[in-house]
A and B are shown apart, each in its own frame.
Chain A
Amino acid sequence: MLRRARPLLGTFVEITACAADPASEQRACDAAFGAVADVHRLMSFHEPASELSRINREAHRGAVEVDPRTFAVLRRALEIAALSHGAFDCTIGARMVTLELLPALHDAAPTEAGSFRDVVLTPPNRVAFRRPLALDLGGIAKGFAVDQAVEALRRAGADAGCVNAGGDLRVFGDRAWPVALRVPDAPRALVALPPLRNRALATSADTFVAGGHVIDPATGRPRTRPLSVSVLADTCMDADALTKVVWLAERPPTALLETLHASTIVLRASASDPASAAHALLDVA
């Protein structure tokens, strides 16, 4: 087993590969880090040269041809937006620029009145906007990067592995992987879960973000909660996006989770006594 970590996607990406020999594990890890770097290059909001930035600059003037990976993420983002009635909406970028949570990088002023319904996807690879928008894939691209890394590990011959991008993780292979959740208000405390097999797990929490990290499309404001929300799903892309939907919901959206073969674990912060952070539980759906 080989385990390596690199700073990527603004966080630590940790890749574990199990293969027949150390050289294959090394090659598999290199390929997987390459896959993550590709996603970063395509979908970074901060990089003016990224494909996402090009879409944000140009797609309101006419269809833009994009990489199949970007198209796949946009398609899933719109599906989850529709299923969640807009609770997950990647056009939130305009609002995040206004709130100075994201930088303004180009002059086409995106409209905050836009929504995911203003994004038109035409297979196989064309994206157009009905009005100027600012797509932010921050709530889904990290999960997708994890999925791409898992694919790269498999293609490179790894028979089992784990990819963890700052808390969004996925495991595969005939092996049970030990996992733990951070306790929301006591980040050095962990709650162990029973081991995971062939599954993705993503968690959202405000632990290291002052002022909240999830913007509610309904109010345009960050919604802070004394919780951590974790989602188990088949792909890390789904798990990543669904943490935001659960975060914004009063009660776990069981029908949506069911539809997407997902489950959720909500840990409650225990502000009075973080040390016994324990009774951290929970809503499970």
Chain B
Amino acid sequence: MRRRDQALLLLLAPPAIVLPAAAAHAVQYLDLAAAEKTLFADATRFEPVAITLSDEQIRTIKQASGTRTPIPTDRVYRALRGDQLLGHLIVDEVYGKHEFITYAAAIDPSGAVLGIEIMDYRETKGGQVRQPEWRAQFHGKRASDPLDLGEDIVNISGATMSCKHITEGVKRLLALHAAALEGR
């Protein structure tokens, strides 16, 4: 064992009783203003776009992907530099078995994806951070205390969460763009 890991890992001597803590795993990466700035750095202003879809447009858009959340017609923004249209920013939500994700997609006037940023990530029933007793001793707090990470958010190593729900979501946004936003 590597010396530098030794102090860390010796603390893991079994049995490591893991007690529940209150923290839920949820991260806010970007709010709307930060997402706008990140995805359209050159834009000078953003305008909400009012969209009303016909039944046929709704059918077409729903056929484009398996995403089941409502079509985000009320969270579409035009990114402008002066009067020039740089593209659209759409805020959308998708969910998987374990997670619920809000993301923003930037789509250029021709219908090509310019970028995707995750805005919020939440595990559906709230991830429980379990703090083993050894860890609590290490930090001099009770094991039943929630992990106090200050401003930090715990970095999780573990099985890969697939991002296929976002891939499906983006397909639907491109269908929405084709149906209602091209040339607007």
Query: Which of A's residues lie within 8 Å of B, judged by CB?
Result: 1, 3-8, 10-12, 14, 16, 26, 162, 164, 166-169, 171, 177-184, 187-194, 199, 201-209, 228, 230, 232, 254, 257-258, 261-263, 265, 276-282, 284-285
Interfacial chain A residues near B2, Cβ < 8 Å: 232, 258, 261-263
A281 to B98, CA, bound (A): 24
A90 to B164, CA, bound (A): 25
- Decide: A180 near B157, CB < 8 A? Known: A1-B151, A4-B117: yes
Q: Are B38 and A11 in contact (CB under 8 A)?
A: no
Q: Does B132 contact A (CB under 8 A)?
A: yes
Q: Are B121 and A5 in contact (CB under 8 A)?
A: yes
Interfacial chain A residues near B129, Cβ < 8 Å: 180, 190, 192
Q: Are B15 and A208 in contact (CB under 8 A)?
A: no
Contact of A263 among B9, B30, B151, B163 (CB under 8 A): B9
Q: Does B33 contact A (CB under 8 A)?
A: no
Interfacial chain A residues near B15, Cβ < 8 Å: 278-279, 281
5 pairs of A and B residues whose beta carbons are closest in the complex: A182-B158, A207-B159, A7-B163, A278-B18, A166-B160
Q: Are B12 and A5 in contact (CB under 8 A)?
A: no
In the complex, the chain A residue whose C-beta lies closest to that of B156 is: A180
Query: Which of B's residues lie within 8 Å of A, judged by CB?
Result: 1-2, 4-6, 8-19, 25, 27, 29-30, 38, 98, 103, 115-118, 121, 123, 125-132, 135, 138, 147, 149, 151-164, 166-167
Can you name 25 A-B pairs with beta carbons within 8 Å? A5-B117, A5-B118, A6-B115, A10-B160, A12-B161, A14-B27, A16-B155, A169-B155, A177-B155, A178-B154, A179-B157, A190-B25, A190-B130, A191-B18, A191-B132, A194-B138, A203-B157, A205-B159, A207-B158, A209-B159, A232-B8, A279-B14, A280-B16, A280-B18, A282-B14
Most central of B128, B151, B153, B158 by chain A CB within 10 Å: B158
Q: Smallest Cβ distance from A26 to chain B, in angstroms?
A: 7
- Decide: A188 near B123, CB < 8 A? Known: A3-B29, A178-B149, A180-B155: yes
In the complex, the chain A residue whose C-beta lies closest to that of B101 is: A12
- Decide: A279 near B162, CB < 8 A? Known: A6-B117, A192-B135, A192-B147: no
A285 to B12, CA, bound (A): 11
Interfacial chain A residues near B135, Cβ < 8 Å: 192-194
- Decide: A5 near B130, CB < 8 A? Known: A11-B160, A178-B149: no
Q: Smallest Cβ distance from A255 to chain B, in angstroms?
A: 11
Q: Smallest Cβ distance from B4 to chain A, in angstroms?
A: 8
Contact of B38 among A4, A171, A209, A261 (CB under 8 A): A4
Q: Are B160 and A167 in contact (CB under 8 A)?
A: yes
Interfacial chain A residues near B138, Cβ < 8 Å: 194
Q: Smallest Cβ distance from B21 to chain A, in angstroms?
A: 8
In the complex, the chain A residue whose C-beta lies closest to that of B126 is: A188
Interfacial chain A residues near B11, Cβ < 8 Å: 194
Q: Are A7 and B38 in contact (CB under 8 A)?
A: no
Q: Smallest Cβ distance from A5 to chain B, in angstroms?
A: 4
In the complex, the chain A residue whose C-beta lies closest to that of B127 is: A188
Contact of B1 among A162, A177, A285 (CB under 8 A): A285
- Decide: A178 near B152, CB < 8 A? Known: A12-B121, A190-B128: yes
Q: Smallest Cβ distance from B154 to chain A, in angstroms?
A: 5
Q: Are B125 and A188 in contact (CB under 8 A)?
A: yes
Interfacial chain B residues near A257, Cβ < 8 Å: 1
Q: Are B162 and A208 in contact (CB under 8 A)?
A: yes
Interfacial chain A residues near B13, Cβ < 8 Å: 284
A16 to B154, CA, bound (A): 12
A202 to B158, CA, bound (A): 7
- Decide: A26 near B156, CB < 8 A? Known: A12-B121, A194-B138: no
Interfacial chain A residues near B27, Cβ < 8 Å: 3, 5, 14
Interfacial chain A residues near B166, Cβ < 8 Å: 7
A184 to B25, CA, bound (A): 16
